Structure 1
Amino acid sequence: MTQPPQPSDDPPQGGFGAPQDPPPGGFGAPAPPPSDGLTKQPPSAPPGPPATPPPPAGGYGSPPPPPPGGHGAPQTPPPAGGFGAPQPPQNPAYGYPQAPPPGQPPTQPGYGFPQGPPGQPGMPPQQGYGYPTAPMHPQYAAPQQGGGKKFNVRMQIIVAAVVAVALIVGGGAIYASSGGDEGGGKDAPASAGPDGGEAKGGDGLAGGTEKAPSDTKSRIGFQLPHPKVTDTTVVDGSWVTDKVYVKTGVYEVVGYDLDKGTKLWSIPLPGQVCAASRHMSKDFRTAIAFQEGKPSAADKYPSCNQIGALDLAGGKMVWNKSVTSDSNGDEPIRFNEVTLSGTTVAAGGTSGGAAFNLADGAELWKPKTDANNCSDRGYAGGEALAVVRRCGGYDEAQLTIQALNPATGAPLSSYQMPAGVDYASIVSTKPLVVAADVGDTAGDGSGISDFFSIDAATGKLIVRISADADRYAAECGSTEVETCHSLAVGDNRLYVPTEEHEGGGEYGDTNEIVAFDLTTGKLVGGRADAGDSYTLTPLRMDGSNVIAYKKPPYDKGGQIVSIDGSTFKETVLMVNPDDEAVRDAETSFSSDYSEFLYEKGRLFISEKMISEPSKNASADDKQYLVVSFSTV
C-alpha cells in the first residue's frame, strides 16, 4: 500500500494551522505578540498511523495525514438554546446597537461594518475586520457644540439603533461603493495587467451555469466505506463527468454511478496513486502519478516514478511511462505533482520536470543538467501552463515563476520572486496568481503571507497583495506548487475567506468571503456572510460566480451556495439533511484534507488520505471514503 510522502532533499513543510479565537478588544483589533501558546499549531496526527512514520513517497512534500474527526467534526451540543439560538446582546464590538452614555454621540456596530476615519463625529476609531471603510452619513452624526438643539439620552439611543439597522441593511451597498485599500496594493507598476475575462453566461444564475433547484433540500446519495489499510495511504484524486463519479482507491481508480454509487468500472494500478491532476480535458481525460509497484520485503517504499493518462469516460488507462534525466542515469526520476493544461501532461519534483502529450504519451521535455543548478519543481495547469523554477543551492535558492508554451516548455515570460521566498504556489494560471510565505512571516502554517498578481505576457508584477494570516484563511501546501485550496480566482478577482471569529450568537463562530482586485490589489468592497455558526469556504468559480461550501453548526447540515462575484448576493443551491447520522457522515470530513466537488445538483466529499483506524475507535465511529448528496 501507499506510504506517506518519500524523503526529499528539501526541508520538511510546516503543518496547516488551525484558526484561533479573536484577540481581546474585538476581532480585527491589533493583537499583541503571542506569549502563551496562541500561535497556531498543526493539527494532531490521524488515528492509527505507525509510531515511527516511514520515509515519504513523493519527495517534494505531500499533505500531512488528516486529524481525527476532521476539521468539521461534530461537537458536544451546547446547553439549551444551541448554536445560532437568539441571544441577548453581549458585546458592542460585534454588531449590536448600544445605548451611548449620557452626553456622548451614538456609536455604530463593530465587527465587519464600515468604519469612518478616526476622530469623525459619531464614529469609533477602530478599523473593521479587513474591510473597506466608509464615512457615516452626515444625518447620523451627533450635532456639534455651539449650535442646534442638544440631544437627550432617549434621542441618542434611537439614533444609535437607526444607524445600526441602516448599516446592516445597506452594508452591501456601502461596501460596493467603497474602495478600501487595507491589505492591498504594494509595488504596483503602471501597467494595468491582463484582462480578467468576461463573465461566462449560462441558462442558470447570472454569470454562471449552476441552477438553483426548485427544492434545495438534498437527499443522501451514497456513502462509500473507508477502505481497510494498515498504513497511511494517499487516495488523492476525484473527478465528475457527465455520467460517472471517479475516485482514487487502493491500487485502483474507480468509476461510480452518480446517484447509486455502484461500481461501473475499475482501472487497476501496479502501485498506489501519489498525485493526481485536478484538471480534466473536454473529453474527460486526466493524469495521475503512481508508484512503480507495491511494497515488498525488498522494496518497502516503491518510487513514485510513473505518469499515466486516464480516460474517465471509457474507464481505462490510455498510457503510462517513466522518464530519466541526464544526471540520474537509467534510474527513473521521482515525481510528486502532476497537472494538465490542454493536451500537455506536466509532472514535477525535486529532480526536475517532464511533460507528455495527453493523447499518446509522447515525451515533450524532460529534466536536463543545468550549470546554474536549475530545475522545474512543479507546474500548474488549467487554462494555461506555468512553472515554479528553482536555481542555486539550498542556502541561496532563487525562485522564478514562468508562463510556458505547453507544447514545447519554452518560457513565454519570467518573474523572479523576491528574496526570502523558499517555496511558491501557483493559485491560478489565467490570470497568473502566485502565493508565497515571504520570509516565513505568515506564522500559521498556511503558506501564504502575500499574493502576487503577474502579467503572464510580460512577466511584470502587476500588484503584490499582503494577506494577513490572522485575517484570511486560504491555504497552500508549502512545498507543492498546485495544492492551494479555500480560495478562488475569476473575473480578475481573488476570493478568499476570512478566519473564523465570534458571531452574533452565544455559541459558534462564523466568517465571510471577500475579494481583492488583481489589478489594484485593493479589497473590492462587499462580502458574503456565512451567518451565525456557519463558515464559508470557496470551492471554485462558476463563470463570474463563486461556488462555496457552508460548514454547518453541530445540529445542521451543510450548504452549497452560489455567490455573485460582483454583488456578493448568495443563492442557496443545496441544503443537506440535519438528521444526526447524515450530519455525522458529512462532518467527518475535514475541509483541509478532503475534496469537495459540486456539479449540477450533486455534492461529493471524499478523503485525500486514509490510515488504519484507531484501536480505540468504537463501532459507532464510522469512517467513509466518499459521501454524496443530491437535489436532482
Structure 2
Amino acid sequence: MTDQPPHDQQPPTPPTPPAPPNGPPPGYGYPQAPPPPPQPGYGYPAQPGYGYPAQPPTVVAGDDIRARENRTIALIILAAVVAIGLIIGSGVWYARSSGDGSGGKPTGGGKNGTRTVTGGKEKVPADPTADLLFKVPQPKPGDNVTTTDGSWLTDTVYANTGVSEVVGYDPADGTKRWTIKLPGPVCAGSRHVTPGGRAAIVFRPSVPTRTRLAGCTQVAALDLVKGTRLWTKSVGTDDFAMKFQNVTVTRNTVAAGGLEGGIAYDMATGKVLWQPKPGDSCSDIGYGGGTRLVAVRKCGPYGNETLSIQTLDPTSGKVLSEYKMGAGISYAGIVSTDPLVVGADAGEAAGGGSGVSDYFSIDGRTGKLLARIPVPGDAYEGECDTITRLEDCKGVVAGEGRLYLATGEHKDTGDLGRTNEIVAFDLATGKQTGQRASAGKDRTLFPLQMDGGNLLAWKMPSYEHSGEVVSVSGADFTSRTLLEIPGDKASHDMVSGMPVEFVKFRFGHGRLFMSQANVAKPLGLETERNLIVAFGTHD
C-alpha cells in the first residue's frame, strides 16, 4: 500500500517559460543571441617556459579563507544535528520495522501502471536486512576542520580519504589493503573512477597550522587497484603555485580547475595536455568527468563575466560544443555530463541555500539548450556547489533522459509527521513526467545515483524505521528495498549521526558505504564519531 499525500499537498509543478519560435527568450539564464560556432578554448599545447603568475593572486587567498569558513559552518551545523539526535535518542527508541511494511515488495508507481522492475544491475535480495560490515572511527584531525573529500568504490576495493592519506579497504570486511600517505590533507577527490580503477585528487603540500594554510596546489593520479600514487604535479612553487578547487577524470585524462583556471594531464604519465595561457581573459573554473569531459568556462572582468558550458575532447582540450549561459549567471554546478545537465542560480533567485534556481538540460553534441527547469527552493530539495567543487551536486540525479528531484518535505496525510516524494522531469521538454515515488508515512527520500535505468535513493531513518536503500524503477516508478540498516540502537545511532548533507554515499553489489565529508575535534556531547560505516546484505 502506498502512502500518497492528497493532491493539495503536492508541490506545484513549476511552469516552464515558453520559448519563441527562434529560441529561448532573453533574460536570466538564456543567451541574448544565438551562440556563435565553438571557438578554440584550452585546446592548445602546453606553453614552454610557463610557470606561475608574476605575483600572488589575491582572489585565491580569499577563496581559501572562504572555503575554510564554509567547512567550519558546515561542521557546526553537523555537530548540532548530532547533539540533538543523541539527546533525543537517549530517551526515545523505536520498534523494529521493515521499511514501510512492504517487505521489499513493489510500492509507489505512476500513471503508467505497475510492471516488472528492469533496467538495473543491483539485485533485489530475498531479505534486505543488512549487517554491519565494518566501521572506521574518525581520526584525529588536529586543530583545524579537515576535508576528507574523495570516496571511490570498485569491484575489488572501497577507498576513502583520511587525514593526509587515502586508504583502500576490502569492501566485504574493511580489512586495510593499502595506504597512500600524503604530506597534507586532501582538498578534493574525483567523483568518478576510470574503468581501470584510477581516480585523482587535489591536496595541500603540508599540514595546515595556526599560522599557515598551504594552498590546494598538488594534483595526483591514484591507482586504486594497486594502491599507488602514479604521479604528483603542480604549476609554480610555494605561494605562487596555482591553486585548484576541483578535479575529475575521464578516459585517460585528469582535469583540475579553480578560480585561476584549469589544467589537464595524461592519466598514465602526468604529461600536461593543456593549461592556462598567459594573458588569457578566460579560464576553466571547473570540470565534470565520466564518459564525457565538460568545462565550466568563465570570461571577462569581475562584475561583467560570461559563463559557458563546453564539451571538450579529453586529449586535446578542443571545444566540441558550447552553450553560453545568459546574463545574471556567474557560476554553475555540473549534475551530469551524459546527459549534460547543470544547475545554476539565475539572478540570485535560489532558495534555501541550494545554490540552484534552475537546471539546464543541454545537448552535449551541439550545445543547444533543450530545457530549463525552474526549481523553487520551497518545492524541491537538491543543491549544487556552484563555486568551488563544481561536480558536487547532492539530492539531484540525471540519467536515461530524466532529472530526478526530491520534493520538499510536507505534512503527512492525517499525521503530524513529515514526508516527501521523488519526481522526474523529462530532459528534452523540462516537463514533469507525471510519475512520483512516495517515501511513505513519516519517511523522506534522497536521490543517490543511477543504476542503469533505475534510480537508487536513500530512505532516511526515523524514530520508527531503519534507513534503507531503495531502487526506483525508471519504467513505472515502483520501489524495491535493496538494503535495510539493522534495527539495533547502535546501528541506528551510527546512521542518524551522519546527515545526508555531509555524507558521501557509495552503493554497489548490495553494500552501502557512508563516509564523512569533514572531520574535526569532537564536541562536548559526542562520545563517538565514525569516518566510515559500511553495511551489506546476505545475498
**What's the TM-score once normalised by structure 2's chain length?**
0.81
Q: CA deviation at 1:243?
A: 2.0
Match of 1:335 in 2: 244
Match of 2:487 in 1: 578
Q: CA deviation at 1:259?
A: 2.6
Task: Please give the residue correspondences for 1:122-141 in structure 2 after superposition, counting only pairs within 5 Å.
Answer: none
Measured in 1, the distance between the counterparts of 2:303 and 2:427 equals: 32
Q: Does the CA contact (< 8 Å) of 2:78 and 2:499 recur in 1?
A: no
Matched, 1:286 2:286: no
Q: Does the CA contact (< 8 Å) of 2:351 and 2:378 recur in 1?
A: no
Which SS does the other structure have where 2:78 is aligned? Answer: coil
Which SS does the other structure have where 1:317 is aligned? Answer: strand
RMSD (CA atoms): 2.9
Q: State the one-letter code of the partner of 1:65.
A: A
Selected match of 2:138 from 216, 221, 226: 226
Match of 2:152 in 1: 239
Selected match of 2:324 from 416, 419, 425: 416
Q: State the one-letter code of the partner of 1:516.
A: F
CA offsets 1:312-367 (integer angstroms, 9 cap, x no match): 1001111111124xxx9993200010001111100001110000011111110111
Q: Does the CA contact (< 8 Å) of 1:58 and 1:336 recur in 2?
A: no
Taking a change above 3 Å as real, the CA distance of residues 595 and 81 of structure 1, as seen in their structure-2 partners, is closer
Measured in 2, the distance between the counterparts of 1:598 and 1:71 equals: 24
Match of 1:76 in 2: 88
Measured in 2, the distance between the counterparts of 1:306 and 1:58 equals: 18
Matched, 1:267 2:180: yes
Match of 1:624 in 2: 530
Task: Please give the residue correspondences for 1:140-539 in structure 2 after superposition, counting only pairs within 5 Å.
Answer: 172-174=109-111, 176=112, 206-229=118-141, 230-295=143-208, 300-324=212-236, 331-371=240-280, 373-480=281-388, 481-504=390-413, 506-539=415-448
Q: Which has the higher strand share?
A: 2
Structure of larger gyration radius: 1
Taking a change above 3 Å as real, the CA distance of residues 596 and 308 of structure 1, as seen in their structure-2 partners, is same
Selected match of 1:587 from 493, 496, 501: 496
Q: CA deviation at 1:473?
A: 0.3
Taking a change above 3 Å as real, the CA distance of residues 440 and 351 of structure 1, as seen in their structure-2 partners, is same
Taking a change above 3 Å as real, the CA distance of residues 55 and 418 of structure 1, as seen in their structure-2 partners, is closer
CA offsets 1:427-466 (integer angstroms, 9 cap, x no match): 1111111111100112321011111111112211111111
Taking a change above 3 Å as real, the CA distance of residues 56 and 234 of structure 1, as seen in their structure-2 partners, is farther
CA offsets 1:531-555 (integer angstroms, 9 cap, x no match): 1121111111011000111101123
CA offsets 1:115-156 (integer angstroms, 9 cap, x no match): xxxxxxxxxxxxxxxxxxxxxxxxxxxxxxxxxxxxxxxxxx
Q: CA deviation at 1:292?
A: 1.4
Taking a change above 3 Å as real, the CA distance of residues 356 and 70 of structure 1, as seen in their structure-2 partners, is farther
Selected match of 2:515 from 592, 603, 606: 606
Q: State the one-letter code of the partner of 1:310.
A: L
**What's the TM-score once normalised by structure 1's chain length?**
0.69
Q: Does the CA contact (< 8 Å) of 1:69 and 1:589 recur in 2?
A: no
Q: Does the CA contact (< 8 Å) of 1:83 and 1:507 recur in 2?
A: no
Match of 1:146 in 2: none
Q: State the one-letter code of the partner of 1:470.
A: D
Q: Does the CA contact (< 8 Å) of 2:443 and 2:459 recur in 1?
A: yes
Task: Please give the residue correspondences for 1:94-105 in structure 2 after superposition, counting only pairs within 5 Å.
Answer: none
Q: State the one-letter code of the partner of 1:292.
A: P
Q: State the one-letter code of the partner of 2:399.
A: G
Taking a change above 3 Å as real, the CA distance of residues 394 and 60 of structure 1, as seen in their structure-2 partners, is farther
Q: Does the CA contact (< 8 Å) of 1:65 and 1:610 recur in 2?
A: no
Q: State the one-letter code of the partner of 1:509.
A: R
Q: CA deviation at 1:593?
A: 1.0
Q: State the one-letter code of the partner of 2:442.
A: S
Taking a change above 3 Å as real, the CA distance of residues 329 and 453 of structure 1, as seen in their structure-2 partners, is same
Measured in 2, the distance between the counterparts of 1:274 and 1:341 equals: 19
Match of 1:65 in 2: 74
Which SS does the other structure have where 1:439 is aligned? Answer: helix
Measured in 2, the distance between the counterparts of 1:517 and 1:567 equals: 14
Measured in 2, the distance between the counterparts of 1:573 and 1:256 equals: 22
Measured in 2, the distance between the counterparts of 1:363 and 1:26 equals: 54
Q: Does the CA contact (< 8 Å) of 1:246 and 1:255 recur in 2?
A: yes
Match of 1:90 in 2: none
Q: State the one-letter code of the partner of 1:500.
A: E
Which SS does the other structure have where 2:206 is aligned? Answer: coil
Taking a change above 3 Å as real, the CA distance of residues 81 and 505 of structure 1, as seen in their structure-2 partners, is farther
Taking a change above 3 Å as real, the CA distance of residues 70 and 476 of structure 1, as seen in their structure-2 partners, is farther
Measured in 1, the distance between the counterparts of 2:517 and 2:92 equals: 36
Which SS does the other structure have where 2:327 is aligned? Answer: coil
Paired residues, what number?
468
Q: CA deviation at 1:508?
A: 2.7
Measured in 2, the distance between the counterparts of 1:81 and 1:595 equals: 26
Q: Does the CA contact (< 8 Å) of 2:158 and 2:168 recur in 1?
A: yes
Measured in 2, the distance between the counterparts of 1:84 and 1:314 equals: 42
Q: State the one-letter code of the partner of 2:294.
A: A
Instruction: Name structure 1 gaps, 5 residues minimum.
Output: 1-21, 31-53, 86-168, 178-203
Task: Please give the residue correspondences for 1:33-52 in structure 2 after superposition, counting only pairs within 5 Å.
Answer: none
Q: CA deviation at 1:267?
A: 0.4
Q: CA deviation at 1:60?
A: 7.4
Q: State the one-letter code of the partner of 2:344.
A: A
Which SS does the other structure have where 1:581 is aligned? Answer: helix
Q: CA deviation at 1:215?
A: 1.4
Measured in 1, the distance between the counterparts of 2:378 and 2:208 equals: 42
Measured in 1, the distance between the counterparts of 2:202 and 2:370 equals: 34
Q: Does the CA contact (< 8 Å) of 2:287 and 2:294 recur in 1?
A: yes
Q: Does the CA contact (< 8 Å) of 2:125 and 2:482 recur in 1?
A: yes
CA offsets 1:299-323 (integer angstroms, 9 cap, x no match): 6111211100101100111111112
Q: CA deviation at 1:262?
A: 2.4
Q: CA deviation at 1:369?
A: 2.8
Q: CA deviation at 1:59?
A: 7.2
Q: State the one-letter code of the partner of 1:313.
A: V
Q: Give the fraction of aligned pairs with identical amino acids, expressed as a percent.
A: 43
CA offsets 1:254-275 (integer angstroms, 9 cap, x no match): 1112232222210010111000
Q: Does the CA contact (< 8 Å) of 2:107 and 2:478 recur in 1?
A: no
Measured in 2, the distance between the counterparts of 1:211 and 1:536 equals: 20
Q: CA deviation at 1:83?
A: 10
Matched, 1:546 2:459: no
Measured in 2, the distance between the counterparts of 1:316 and 1:410 equals: 30
Match of 1:135 in 2: none
Which SS does the other structure have where 1:65 is aligned? Answer: helix
Q: State the one-letter code of the partner of 1:295.
A: P
Which SS does the other structure have where 2:521 is aligned? Answer: coil
Q: State the one-letter code of the partner of 1:209.
A: K
Which SS does the other structure have where 2:495 is aligned? Answer: helix
Q: Does the CA contact (< 8 Å) of 1:265 and 1:315 recur in 2?
A: yes
Taking a change above 3 Å as real, the CA distance of residues 170 and 308 of structure 1, as seen in their structure-2 partners, is closer
Q: State the one-letter code of the partner of 1:263.
A: K
Measured in 2, the distance between the counterparts of 1:487 and 1:384 equals: 19
